[in-house]
Amino acid sequence: MKIRHDFVTNSSSSSFLLGRKGDGKVSNEAREKLADLLLKEFLGSADKIEGVTSENIEEHEDFEYLNDDIVEAGKDALEKGYDLVRGYLAYDESDSQLVNLLTKMLEILEDDGSYCIVDDNLDY
């Protein structure tokens, strides 16, 4: 059994340890990979809300119980040519989602050569 003696301050936190070269700046390629990862993880499951227009948003079933400010912001976005998409974060799965995301981010940084992973056991 592995026992952690440092870094973690309470049971709802995880920690990691990295080696960093120089100032830790990453290449443009790594930045693009990180941006793509974040967009995929947070927006990859976002679905376009079908049938909503700036004219019918107040009556649309997905907006009828939302705050008026949100409906107005949605209407404004539609009028500017945006599609409305819905995404979600499942809080009962958020711990594992965040660990998975951070693990992938650390791998991108290590592959770039600007960082090396010393300890990435985020299960503490």
Instruction: Classify 95 in phi/psi space as left (phi over 0), alpha (psi -120 to 50) or beta.
Output: alpha
In this prediction, residue 86 carries a pLDDT of 87
Query: pLDDT tens for residues 5-41?
Result: 555 444 556 678 889 999 989 999 999 999 999 888 8
Query: pLDDT tens for residues 31-81?
Result: 999 999 988 887 777 889 999 999 999 999 999 899 999 999 999 999 999
pTM of the entire structure? Answer: 0.64
In this prediction, residue 1 carries a pLDDT of 47
Higher pLDDT, 15 or 4: 15
- b/e string for 48-68 if b means 16 or more Cβ within 10 A? ebeebeeeebeebeebeeeee
In this prediction, residue 112 carries a pLDDT of 93
Q: Give the integer Cα–Cα distance in Å for 107 and 115.
A: 9
